[in-house]
Amino acid sequence: MNTTDFTYILQHPQSITATQISDVKSIINEFPYFQSARAIYLKGLKNKESFKYNQELKTTAAYTTDRSILFDFITSKEFLQNEISQHIKHNTEHLKAIEVSDIEDISVNKSVIIDDALRQQIKDTEPILDPALFEAKVEAITPEDVIDIDVSNIQKTPEETLEIGKPLTFNKNEVHSFSEWLKITSFKLIIREDEETKVESSPKNDQEKKFELIDKFIASKAKIQPIKKDVPTYNIAKAQMIQPEALMTETLARIYVEQKNYSKAIQSYKVLSLKYPEKSGFFADQIQAVKELQEQNNI
């Protein structure tokens, strides 16, 4: 991949191909802190619905200093928009823009002039155009050959029902879900440091810093003022408390499933069922699938 190709997919990330995804991965391996390359690689995996997407999102978060920018990127319209839907939208708008002027009558009532030679030729070919000559041989089907298939018994596996392995999709309102997902992953923020100038703090240095802070506090003659009785008190924790159902989303429930935290996943779907009663049947199926996974893994 040359500079021109890379610049083009930076400007048109929805057009990235499978070959270019591999090329961008090679660039990332050589330059792991190249944020633009990681962004394009994420977009490519998302377009292909790759099972590698969720893991790569964790890695990208670890290499990102400001994760709010990463969240804005993966929830942007350009990132969520698929290349196919872009083509459909473009073609639809193109068809709507076509002006229809003259309408041609294509009815079959127009008279067709057939000369005698053509009429005779049609008559001569009628015997060999007999449809009966081309009928397929029909074999008798006995009752023993009939297999009854009960469609209702064909069920998806728990993995298919829960869409395990598919890319997690966040929207702008799921900041809490995204933060919770990053919290439960094992990746930590990666900070570049110069090994030569890296100084490890010793317990002795930390202890000295604590004493210096205490000395400064005493030297400034600072005093802790008692709370006045006539000043009203507020329960800040209670005022800022957010109800759990307000933070619960389907994405967060999927995150718990991906992390094999089945108890939390079941509880999440129960909360969602109460929050969205019109989808209670769907959430009931999700809960049943989680329970099956729980039994399979003996958790």
pTM to 2 decimals?
0.43
Q: Is the pLDDT of residue 299 over 70?
A: no
In the numeric block, which tokens belong to residue 109? Answer: 């009532």
In the numeric block, which tokens belong to residue 251? Answer: 């994405």
Of 117, 120, 41, the C-alpha closest to 73 is 41
Distance CA 244, CA 173 (A): 15
Q: What would the mean pLDDT of 189-211 be, rounded to a whole number?
A: 54
Distance CA 160, CA 289 (A): 9
Higher-confidence position of 261 and 182: 261
Q: What would the mean pLDDT of 92-99 be, rounded to a whole number?
A: 57
Higher-confidence position of 260 and 177: 260
Of 11-20, 33-42, 81-90, 145-154, minimum mean pLDDT range: 81-90
Per-residue pLDDT, 87 = 47
Higher-confidence position of 212 and 105: 212
CA distances in angstroms from 23 to 38, 132, 253, listed in the order given: 12, 59, 34
Residues 6+ apart with CB under 8 A from 194: none
Q: Is the pLDDT of residue 78 over 50?
A: yes
Residues 6+ apart with CB under 8 A from 162: 254, 257, 286, 289, 290, 293
